Structures are given as structure tokens and as C-alpha cells.
Amino acid sequence: MCGIVGLHLREPALEPRLGELLAAMLGQVVERGPDSAGVAVYGDPRLSPPGQSVVSLLGTSKAEVETVLPGAVAYDADATTVVHAEVARLAALLPHARVIGSGEGCAVLKGTGNPVRLAESFGLAGVTGWQGVGHTRMATESAVTPEGAHPFSVGPGQCLVHNGSFANHATIRRELRSQGVEFDSENDSEVGARFVAHQLAQGADLEKALKLLCERFDGFYTLLVSTGDSFAVVRDAIACKPALVAETADWVAMASEYRALDVLPGIENARIFEPEPEEVYVWRR
């Protein structure tokens, strides 16, 4: 059992409140995942300035980054360090650090412990932007570590959060490795993220990538997948993992429980529905 929240803003006037609203949503699903938490935020000018490459790292610090790369702009957020630099250069300078997100316009923040405390240590309430996804984790398939926390971001600006488990993840991991795909963990959710990223890299759009995932993956899952211009939801064939979507003229939101949606402005006027099994829902900027 894990908790998923996501918010895609249509109304620019709400962008200064993105982090505040996402933090409030995350706080409503703590009981679903008390082990660890993570968020991905799109469009914050401090964390991910327009036109700059952004890398989120584990296993390093602002001080270390600034020592090996003088003049670099870096921020510490709990276990995560966000750096404005090219990912290849950082990988060469900090080979011991783990890349958990890269690209333009998106920053990924992860940590272990109580999700409310983590949101505070991330400074989430002060974040601005146009889209955010969050996850609270109850570990079932791998250890409780920052690396095992969601979102899994394995393609530029691409993030996946997952509630459930993939029964055949080992088989698909072997297939992807045979095609040159590398993995960072034994987490089953990473397999889903790598599969989607691989399909996108081969030219599929997000809707097609998620339809292919439904064809290949066995198990129980609700997925929220975000990219630099999209926000998508899909559930497995029997839809046993909870999910609700709320939509207004100002925003689209998804959460594992209604109470996480109830904190949003204008929820009383929202169209609220439960996603159908194996139907891919995509909203684009």
C-alpha cells in the first residue's frame, strides 16, 4: 500500500501555490506510505531555471558539488542534492553519486522517514511551478532507502510513481537488459519506469508507451506518469489499487484517496471520477 498524489495546473495564477498544494495533498496519504517519500516538481525557477540542465543526486552534498565543480549552483534537500549542471559532467566528477533525475524544467527530491517531515525538509511548501507528483511509500519489494523511494525518473524529465506490484518484473528486467537498458536498483517500480522510458526513446508517445506496459506487465498497479508536457494515469486490468481523478478548468489532480483532493481550491466544482481499468488518461500542457 502506497500513496500517490499529482497536480497538473492549467491556471497560471495558481503556479505560486504548486508546492503548498502538493504538500497538503501529500500530508493526506502519509498512512498509506510512512517509510519514505519523494516528489517531482516542474517549473520552479529556483530548482529548475528555464533553459538550464538540472540533475538530482543522492550520495553527495552541496559542499562536495561546489568543491569538485566551482561555481556550480546546488541545493541540499534532505538526502537529495539538486545541481544546475550537465548530467554527464557530474557523473564523471562524482562517480559515487546516484542520479535520480535529470533534464530541463524538473527537479526530483527523495528521502526516507515521515513524509510530512520530508516535505518540510524539501521546502516543498515554497516551491512554485505548473506540475508536481508525489508518493508516500510502504516498501514491499526492496529496502527502505532514498534510492528505493519514488518517483523513478530514468528519462529526461520523465517520472513514474506506482502503487502496487509487478509480478513479472524480473522477466521484463532481463528483456530490457538484453536491449542495453541499465538498472540502478532491484525495485519492481524501476522496471516500469525503464520500460516507459525505453518506449518513449524509441518514438512512442506516452499513451502508446502505457498501453504497451498494460500488455506486458502482470500484477496490480496504479501509475501516475509525468513528462515535461504531460500528466498520465493508468490502472491494471482489475483496477484493485485505488485512484481518483478530479478535473476543473484550473487544474487536473489525481490521488489515491479523496481526502488528498479535498485540499484543492474549487474541489466542490470538480468533475471527479475513478479511472477505468487499462484505460490511459493523458493531459497535456
User: Annotated catalytic sites, by residue?
Assistant: 2
How many helices (DSSP H) and strands (DSSP E) are in the chain? Answer: 8, 16
Give the three cell numbers for residue 137.
511509500
Q: What are phi and psi of 239, to 5 degrees?
A: 50, 50
- The string over 55-77, giving b where at least 16 C-beta atoms fall within 10 Å of a residue's C-beta and e elsewhere, is bbbbbbebebbeeebeebbbbeb
Residues 166 and 192: beta-carbon distance below 8 Å: yes
CA distance linking residue 212 with residue 223, whole number of Å: 13
The whole-angstrom distance between residue 284's C-alpha and the CA centroid of its chain comes to 16
